[in-house]
Amino acid sequence: MNDRIDVHHHASAPSWVREVEHFAPSRPVRPWTPHDALRAMDHHHVARAVVSLTAPGVWFGDAARAVPAAHAANEELAASVLAPGNDGRLAFFAALPLPDVEATLAEIEHASALGCAGYTLLTNVDGRYLGDPEFAPVWAELDRRRAVVFVHPNWTTQPLVPGVSGAIADFLLDTVRTAISLLYAGVLDRHRDVSIILSHAGGFLPYNVHRLAAMSATMLEPRRDAEQLLADARRFYFDTALSTSPTSLPSLLAFADPQRILYGTDWPYALSPTIEYFEREFAAYPLAEEQRSAIEHDNARRLFGW
């Protein structure tokens, strides 16, 4: 039975593909159509998917290009995923043109009018992480709207390990970096009506969060209260894309609020055989049926009001 809700599913808007191919030709772009998406969703027992652009997003080093790129991509995503023929099975996270704060505020309004389910932010934009003080007005506006924010990894500004894809380790590290940036900036403490989803089970944040809390309370300056930091970190949502192995899932389950774990596939950048690998691991993991249902669909329904 198709009943899962996939919050980590990527789409390709035609104008965005042209931007990437011109300005970032080394970055992979996989073909995507609503028809192919619905077929893949049926294959993986997904009832509904929230699609998003992947890295590198719409920032190619030039604000003058990022603003119209986000605007066009969101209009194309809205037209393709909200078409009546898709039977309401697709929704979308809108792209935002950070680091241009004023343009981002304007695009939040534009994308809301288009009917987006939430907004995508990349873990870093040109080396600036999401707790950057200059981004405070964006978080205030997202909080005011009670928005859902999908945080997706981006390539770091540091060189990769030779021969090792950034998707293997660097993406996970960058998610942890931006999560710590948000925690240290107090974004989750101040803005309690915004819901922030961290991709791929938060990278290794669940594994590392107590080390972070202990060292922040005892060794690092300025000191931070460990229990407050842990409580704030538990306000993140986490998706399960590529993260339901018998070693990664226990760490996530041990830390995360059980109502804040969401199903994800990372299709089509994760190919179906890869998704199936993690589906088998998830199916074999001993979970109460209520907890499995919460992860696969109930938590997402509550979050999006579906």
- The type of residue at 65 is R
What CATH number should be reported for the domain holding residue 241?
3.20.20.140
Q: Helix, strand, coil: what percent of the chain each, to 5?
A: 50, 15, 35
pLDDT digits (tens, 9 = 90+) for 19-54: 999 988 888 899 899 999 999 999 999 999 999 999
Q: How far is CA 112 from CA 49, 96, 117, 142, 256, in A?
A: 18, 12, 8, 11, 29
Tell me what the mean pLDDT of segment 88-110 comes to. 97
Q: Is a pLDDT exceeding 90 seen at residue 160?
A: no
pLDDT of res. 25:
86
Total structural domains in the chain? Answer: 1
pLDDT digits (tens, 9 = 90+) for 222-238: 999 999 999 999 999 99
Q: Which domain holds residue 235?
A: 4-304
pLDDT of res. 68:
96
Beta strands in 229-298 (DSSP E): 237-239, 261-262
Q: Is a pLDDT exceeding 90 seen at residue 1?
A: no
Cis-peptide, bond into residue 56, ω within 30° of zero = yes
User: What span, in angstroms and rounded, lies between the C-alpha atoms of 283 and 296?
Assistant: 11
pLDDT of res. 164:
87
Between 191 and 167, whose confidence is greater?
191
pLDDT digits (tens, 9 = 90+) for 269-291: 999 999 999 999 999 999 999 99
pLDDT of res. 271:
96
Q: What is the DSSP string of 76-113?
A: HHHHHHS-GGGTT-EEEEEE--TT-HHHHHHHHHHHHH
Q: Is a pLDDT exceeding 80 seen at residue 63?
A: yes
User: What span, in angstroms and rounded, lies between the C-alpha atoms of 55 and 257?
Assistant: 27
Mean pLDDT of the chain: 96
Q: Is a pLDDT exceeding 70 seen at residue 241?
A: yes
pLDDT band of 166, cuts 50, 70, 90: confident
* pLDDT above 90: percentage of residues in the chain: 90
